[in-house]
Amino acid sequence: MLYGLFCRLGRPAADYPTLSGAVQAAGVASWPINDGTWFVESELSADAIRDSLALCIEPEDVALVFPLNVGPARWTSLREFRYGRQFLQSALQRESAARA
């Protein structure tokens, strides 16, 4: 399952020493979009990912975990984001194979 992880943090994500590790541990692959935003491919449930992130952030911060359906998604060429392009193409292929 592909998830979008969106965190509204009181400080830059780099100031949360265990957050990046929690994101990486949640999935088989992840792509950081910007500070506090990731795409993660994971076998875990949204609840499990949320609970893991909640342990790494402050109580006043917010972590949102949304399942994503890549099939109808569209994006620009992502020329400068080779890994991101490969990440999304792989997610789309796996999603298509799962539906077949």
Q: pLDDT (tens digit, 9 = 90+) per residue, 50-61? A: 999 999 999 999
Average pLDDT, the chain: 90
Q: Are 60 and 54 in contact (CB under 8 A)?
A: no
Q: Are 84 and 41 in contact (CB under 8 A)?
A: no
Q: Scanning the structure block, which residue is given the tokens 């789309």?
A: 92
**Taking the model in full, what pTM does it have?**
0.85
pLDDT classification of 23: cutoffs 50, 70, 90? very high
pLDDT of residue 37: 95
pLDDT of residue 44: 95
| Alpha carbon distance 83, 54 (integer Å) | 27
Closest CA to 85 of 21, 13, 33: 33
Could you report the per-residue pLDDT of 63-80, keeping only the tens digit for each?
A: 999 998 877 777 888 888
